[in-house]
Amino acid sequence: AQKITQTQPGMFVQEKEAVTLDCTYDTSDPSYGLFWYKQPSSGEMIFLIYQGSYDQQNATEGRYSLNFQKARKSANLVISASQLGDSAMYFCAMREGFSGGSNYKLTFGKGTLLTVNP
């Protein structure tokens, strides 16, 4: 079973509108962290936002917010007021546990290609 599922291969949004990118995850570990990264066509992965499994509130970073629904195991990224520069691939990733070799491992989803239209 996939640990990170991003069901939207591609999304389109009009400039200045909000968009939600879906991410569901699978883990039996009570301690985990969820990350979103942006990858423009240049290739660099840019860290956007983090949500810990024990965090009571949804994470926010500027125009990015994370809609964390723990019981549903979903961690959707919301981008408000989309800009043309937001056009990129977006990856959801998870890190499980605090000990052992998997402590370091980020498991990535397949990504969602977001296109912002003017």
Binding site for other proteins (CB under 8 A): 4, 32-33, 35, 37, 42-47, 50, 52, 91, 93, 95, 98-99, 101, 103-111
Q: What DSSP character marks residue 18?
A: -
Minimum gap (Å) between residue 101 Cβ and other proteins: 5
- Looking at the Cβ atoms of 18 and 47, the one nearer to other proteins is 47
- Looking at the Cβ atoms of 101 and 118, the one nearer to other proteins is 101
How many CB atoms sit inside 10 A of residue 63's CB?
14
**Tokens of residue 84, six digits:** 């043309």
- Looking at the Cβ atoms of 34 and 116, the one nearer to other proteins is 34
- The letter for the amino acid at 71 is A
Minimum gap (Å) between residue 86 Cβ and other proteins: 18
d(CA 72, CA 115): 27
Element (H, E) at 68: strand 64-69
Closest among 82, 69, 97, 1 to 38, alpha carbons compared = 82
- Looking at the Cβ atoms of 56 and 118, the one nearer to other proteins is 56
